[in-house]
Each structure stands twice: as structure tokens, then as C-alpha cells.
Structure 1
Amino acid sequence: MKKITLILTLLIANAYDAQFKISVEVPQSFTPSEVYLYTLNGSKDVLNSKQIKKESSWQINVAKTYSGMMKLYFPEINASVNFISENKDVKMRFETEKDKIVNIDYLDEANFAMNQMQDIQQKKEFILPALYQIKEYYKQKSDFGTALDNEVNRLSTQTSTLNKFPFVTFYSTNYDKFVEKSANKKPISHEDIIDFLNKSNEMLESSSLMRPVLVAYLNAGSKSTVAAEVDKLLKTLNVETPRGQTVLSELIEIFNTYGMQDLKDKYLTEAKNLKCTINERLTSTIATNMNTEIGAVFPNYVFNRASNTKSKSLHDIKADKKVIIFWASTCSHCETDLPKIIEKYKAIKDLKAEVIAFSLDSDLATYESKVKMLPWINDSELKGWNSSYSEIYNINATPSYFILDSANKIIAKPNHAADVISYLNLK
């Protein structure tokens, strides 16, 4: 009995040690009440919990062990704050102006160290090369020359205090090696990257490094051998393992983002044909892509603040064809493309077709000023790229187009307004 009691006590103690708290203090004038907490898996945010503010703070308990990047998202103002966890308590305080976060004080050691390290990384990449050139024009013993030397030394020397923080050390070391841009760096080989992806611990998935490292892998060789190099990578990682499946998911999304359709199709087919248990990340990638393939029924969407319609949802709209547009008022290509659709809108209506446009804007005033010029059905969540339909419909760029038939099946995925006009045989 004593032995069992001791084991239970140890298990309870370990579970307690694995938990940590996130404390966020804000001014009384900061009006948002709800916050979402996200962890990270590769390049995808994973919802951990939601919390309501009490007085002027949030106290969020995290039940499971986690070291890596985290994010707070305030849906009422579409604002995010990124930070890290070393599986220890996190404390931060915001300064705000009219519900905008203008400054963040990181009050725990790990986030303070991470913030300083990232500041140095940014300056190393963009400022250090210029400082080396400026040094040539000033005497070393002058006040300004001495200050330049001190700043160059500060940016060039990695502080040893990072060793106290395993995740910060992991991130800093591998960012410097695989991601940081420098003319003086030795080129990274495919073998180096395969070794890193194969042998890294679970902090790789939570570090935000996986996608940029994979992009570096794809850029490390000839374009003609990309498929062969990807096959070699996936064979080493083994696509029947969680790591291999997460990397496969990331690669499919990279190929989709950069318009590498043949490679996307090749590896999406490989993912679909897997006979083993598939992890949640790859399952989501397969499902999202299947939702938006030619012949698939376009997922329904319940309108949020739709204009120029009384319909409650996308599927409620009756039309022989539907042209779906994803756009943003800050998108320069949209500025060029959308007037072409406006010009043909009457002809589109004559075909008993309709245009439904979803905006990835975040500012209400900007959205409303733009949408006045758009004669068709418009809607927006005003959450920018945090909008739910960017995930549902696999949107990686604006403008993006889909053409649906009367049964809401996808019959075309044009690249530009001119392709929409051509598909509909509009003169």
C-alpha cells in the first residue's frame, strides 16, 4: 500500500510540475475580454484554450508540458502577440492606445532573453553588414568608432546566458545555422538539413523553424532535381512516422503556396495513399485540399456581414454559376484584377451567374470604403489572414478564384480575372 501511495504521489507531483501559468496584465482601458491561446505544430497554430479576462488580466493555466512558440489572439480586435514557453510560468504586461497593443514588457526571464536574442538576430541580418562598411570611414579610437566597435561586437557575439533556456538555445542555434541570411556563411547541404530534420527533438515542431528549413532544403539544389531530393528526405524521415507526416504536410502546403502544382499533386497523392495511421496535421492538409479540388462540393459558409444579399449562407444563393473571389483591400493585384470583373458583372448576371467575394481585410473603415465600389455579394470577418475561410478554402494568396456550378461543385480554379472572363465566354 505504501509503494502504491508513493507512486501516486510522484505522478501527481510530476503532473503539477508539468503545468505552467501565463499571466497577462493590461490597462483598465483595454476593452477585449476574450483571448485564444495557441501552440504551434510546424507552421500551424493549434488552439490550446480560450480565456475570459478578469478585471484587467488573464490567468491562463496550461495543463500539458510544452516548450516552444505560443500565440495569444484577441479576436475582438484581430491582434496577436507571440511569445515562448520553456514549460515555466510566463508573465507579460501590455501598454495600449485605443485598444492597440503598442508595447509588450516580458516579465519572465525566458521571454526577455528570447526578445533580446530576436532583436540581435534581426539587426545581424539587416544592420550588421552596413555597420562593417561604415567602420571603414571612422577612426577606431574616435568616440563614434568605439561605439561602432561595441555594437558590432554585441551583434556578432552570442550571449552565453541563453544556455539557461533549452528552447531559446535550440531556436537560436538552428536559426543561425539554417535560416539566417549571410554572405559569409558556408552553404547548407541537403545532408545537413536531412540530419537536422531527422534527429531534432520535439522542439522542432514547436519552433517555427520547420517551414523555413524546408524552403532552404528546396533551394539548396537544382530545380530539376527537387522531386528526387524530396523523395530522399521523406525516405529518411519515414512518412509512416509523425515527424515524416508533418514534414510531408508542410511540403504539400509549400508547393501549393508557390504554385508548384505538379509537385503538390505528386505528394498529395502519396499522402492520400498512405495505409498507416495518419496524424492530425496531415489529415487536415489532405481534407483542406480535397475540399477545393475540381469536382468537390465547395464547403458552405454562413455569412457574417454580407452586403447585396438577403441570403444567410453561400449555398443559399441560387445561381447557375457562382464566381468566388478572395481578395483584400491591401492587395495590389486585386486592385488590377477586380475592375475587370466589375466591367463584366452585368454580363455575368445575364448568364444567371453571381459573384461572391470574401475579403481578408481587418480594418472596418478600409473594407467599407472599398466594398462600396463592388456591386456583387461581399462579406468579411475582418480578421485578415486569421479569417476562418483562409483555412477552410486553402487560400494562400489574393486574389484567388473559384467557379462553382448550380450544385456548388467546383468546376474551375482560374488564376486571374482574365481566366474567369475566358471561362465564362464573356466578350
Structure 2
Amino acid sequence: MKKLSFIIAVSISTFSFAQFSVQVEANPNYSAKEAILFTLDGSKDIISSKESKSGNIWKFKVPQNYKGMMKIYFPEINYSFNLISENKDVSVKLTTTSDKVEDVIYLDQANILMDEVQDLQNKNELIFPALVQIKDYYSPNSTFGGALRNEIDRLGKTVSIDAQKNPFVYYYNTNYNKYTISSSVVKPPTQTEIVDFISKSGEMLETSSLLRPILVNYLNAATNANSEQAVDTILNKLVLETPRGQTVLSEFIDIFSAYGMVSLKDKYLTKAKDLKCTINTRLAKTLKSNANVELGAIFPNYIFSKSVTNTNLKSIADVKNAKKVIMFWASTCSHCEKDLPIILGKYTTLKSNNVEVIGLSLDSDKTSYDNKVKALPWINDSELRGWNSSYSETYNITATPTYFILDSNNKIIAKPDSISDVFTFLGVK
């Protein structure tokens, strides 16, 4: 018994320590109290832990081995920044003015290196091609021409990365350059090479943020007529009974949803529903968010915030009109800007037909949102968290504007593709 007790004590002691910690420091006048640490699964953020501020520091303990992208999000002021883990302690300092973050200063070696890598990648994509195009117009002996060529040489160099010391940064940099960059200089990978890479890559593929852009490149390499065949090829290679296969299937469903490729989305969503094996968390969430907004489903209720306008009701379910038009929009959305005046022009007619409009905004800037909704007479609400809003996952929102029409019992009776389709369904001219 003593020996067993000792083993249990050792086990408890072992699991009480974190693999690594993430520490974030801000100026004392930074008002955010709560912070959320996310890890990554494909293209989806996963909550790792939540912490409250102690003094002017947030400290997260991560109990599991993790190498990959992370994000810190301050929900009270809707601010986030990215960082990485090499399964070692991470330290970050925020330079702030009131609640505005002026700079994110990485203090640990891995994040300093990753920041340098990403800065060079951004400049190579945005600046390097333009510099190469104009260099021949300036003499190399001139001051500007010499500086131009020096900058081209600097951007053309690669950052030296020790694969043993920084395995994630090495993995990210190598495969970003090979599988996500479209370049006239470097030969793009073939579909076969992409399939082989995804099937053989380790778990850092899911944590790297590269999976979605690689899959988009894979689809772009196929013609529209061959997209379905290309997807079937990679899914057959990966096997849908495996976690990797299910994550890639989930990514494809989301891609087809975002790009309005309805028939392909429906096909692979049906394939996911028909799986008889255990479903991983990523695919389960995709199935859930799509099931929430299927035609005929009961629209998940939403509790209005205290700042909701033009109603004293508490939730969507409390709105008892014969029909309800749910509109997901944003004040920064150009397509929404075109639709709003049209809805305004028809709103009196809608109300006379016992139809209410409920606008749920994916804005993040309070001033911009408030200025816009002053002129909107229907029910308006917003979490003011942009794409961090709960709407994104709950209602599977991938673009604005998105419309749903509900009956009085919150059943989804139509999913119009456009505002004209809304009025056609409602019989409003």
C-alpha cells in the first residue's frame, strides 16, 4: 500500500506542473482584466485557458506539450495579438496608451525569431516584387539605386533557423515558403506533392495556421470541373476515420461555405454526417454550427445585450412577429452598405406585414457601429467583438451580409442569398 501511495503522489505531483507558462505584461493603466489564451486546430482557435490580471500581469500555465500558433484575446476591449510556443516559457510586454496597444514586444527568443521571420515574409510578398520591377530604372551607382539593390539583397536572404532549437519556427518557415507562396520564380508544388505533405506531416500542421491556405492552393491547382475529384483524392489518401482526415474534411466544408460553393459544401457535409466512426472535436463543431442553421432547424436563441436598440424584449425568441429577418452585417461591409438603404425603403411595408428585422452586427468599433444604427429603426445588437463574436461559430457566419428568415417559432424557413431574395420570399415588392 505504501508503494502504491507513493506512485499516486508522484503522479499527482507530475501533473500539477505546467509544461510551460505564457506571461503578458501591460502598462498599469491598461483597463483589461480578463485575458483568454487560444491554441490552434487547423484554422480554428481553441480556448486553452482564461486568466485575470494580477497587478499588471497575466500568467497562463499550459499543462500539455504544445508547439504552434497561439493568440491572446482581451474580450473587454476586443484586442488580440498572436504569438507562438516552442513548448517553452513565453514572455510578452504590451506598450499601451490608455487602452490602445502601441506595440507588442516579444521577450523570449522563439517569438523574437518568429516575428523576424514573419516580418521578412510580409515584405517579400508585398515589397520585394515591386522593388525588383523598378530597380532597372535607377542606376546602381546612384544613391537611391544603390539603396534599392541593398534592400533587394536583404529581402532575398533567409533567416537562419536552428531546426533543433526552434522546430516550430523552422517547420512554419520552410512549409510557408514551399506550399503557400504563389511565385513566378519558384515552381509551385503539384497536387500530388501537397497530398503527400499533408498525409505525412506531423501534428504541427494543425497548429501552424498553414493548413487552410495550403488546401486553398490545392484547390486552385485544380480546374473547377476537377475540384470534386481533387477533394476526393486527398480525403481517400488521408482516410476519414483518422483525426487528420476529419480535420481536412472540416476545413473543406468551411472553405466551400465561405466561397459560396453550395453543391460541394452540401456533398461533403453529407459525407461528414454519414460517418459511423468516432468524430474528432474539430469536425463535431463544424457539424454542430451547420446543423444550427439548416433549413427547418430552430434558430439558436440569442439573448440581447444591454445596448440593444429599438426593443425592450430580451431575446430573439421573444420577438413574436409572424416572420423575422435575421441580418448579420457590419458597418465596415461594403455590400451591407448597399443593402441597408434598400431595407430602410421597405421597412414600413415589412412591419405592415408583421415582419420584423433583427440586425446582429459583427462590428468591433463602437463609434462606427453607434453612428450607423442611429438611422436603423429595426432591432439592432452587437457584441462589438468583430469576428470574435459568438455569432461566427453559433450561426456559421463566414461573410456579411448573411440573411435568415424565421417563422414566429424561430424555425428557419428560408436562407436567402441576397436582399432581393429576402423580399421575393416575403412577397414584398
- TM-score greater than 0.5 by the shorter chain: yes
Counterpart CA distance in 1 for 2:155 and 2:193 is 26
Retained in 1: the 8 A contact 2:308–2:381? yes
Where do 1:11-410 residues align within 5 Å? Answer: 19-140=19-140, 143-163=143-163, 164-304=165-305, 305-410=307-412
Counterpart CA distance in 1 for 2:376 and 2:110 is 48
Retained in 2: the 8 A contact 1:403–1:412? yes
Counterpart CA distance in 1 for 2:154 and 2:335 is 42
Structure 1 stretch 24-33 or stretch 132-141: which is displaced more? 132-141
Unaligned residue ranges in structure 2 (runs of 5+) = none
Counterpart CA distance in 2 for 1:15 and 1:122 is 40
- Compared with structure 1, are the counterparts of its residues 249 and 165 closer, same or farther at alpha carbon in structure 2 (3 Å cutoff)? same
Retained in 2: the 8 A contact 1:402–1:413? yes
- Compared with structure 1, are the counterparts of its residues 193 and 6 closer, same or farther at alpha carbon in structure 2 (3 Å cutoff)? farther
Unaligned residue ranges in structure 1 (runs of 5+) = none
Structure 1 stretch 347-356 or stretch 270-279: which is displaced more? 347-356
User: How much has 1:406 moved relative to structure 2?
Assistant: 1.4
The amino acid that maps onto 1:416 is S
- Compared with structure 1, are the counterparts of its residues 162 and 119 closer, same or farther at alpha carbon in structure 2 (3 Å cutoff)? farther
**Equivalent pairs, count:** 427
Counterpart CA distance in 1 for 2:25 and 2:46 is 23
- Compared with structure 1, are the counterparts of its residues 38 and 145 closer, same or farther at alpha carbon in structure 2 (3 Å cutoff)? same
TM-score where L is the length of structure 2 = 0.95
Retained in 2: the 8 A contact 1:113–1:162? no
The amino acid that maps onto 1:155 is L
User: How much has 1:405 moved relative to structure 2?
Assistant: 0.9
Q: List 4+ stretches of structure 1 deviating above 4 A.
A: 1-18, 141-146
Retained in 2: the 8 A contact 1:340–1:418? no
User: How much has 1:15 moved relative to structure 2?
Assistant: 5.4
RMSD value, Cα: 2.1
Counterpart CA distance in 2 for 1:10 and 1:244 is 37
User: How much has 1:161 moved relative to structure 2?
Assistant: 3.2
Retained in 2: the 8 A contact 1:338–1:417? no
User: How much has 1:18 moved relative to structure 2?
Assistant: 6.2
Counterpart CA distance in 2 for 1:353 and 1:112 is 55
Counterpart CA distance in 1 for 2:116 and 2:5 is 45
The amino acid that maps onto 1:80 is S
User: How much has 1:306 moved relative to structure 2?
Assistant: 1.5
- 1:254-297: CA deviations, max 9, x gaps? 00000000000000000000000001110110111111111011
Retained in 2: the 8 A contact 1:125–1:182? no
User: How much has 1:403 moved relative to structure 2?
Assistant: 0.4
TM-score where L is the length of structure 1 = 0.95
User: How much has 1:22 moved relative to structure 2?
Assistant: 0.8
Structure 1 stretch 95-104 or stretch 77-86: which is displaced more? 95-104
- 3-state DSSP of counterpart to 2:364: coil
User: How much has 1:143 moved relative to structure 2?
Assistant: 5.0
- Compared with structure 1, are the counterparts of its residues 330 and 235 closer, same or farther at alpha carbon in structure 2 (3 Å cutoff)? same
The amino acid that maps onto 2:219 is L
Counterpart CA distance in 2 for 1:252 and 1:86 is 30
Counterpart CA distance in 2 for 1:17 and 1:406 is 53
Structure 1 stretch 302-311 or stretch 200-209: which is displaced more? 302-311
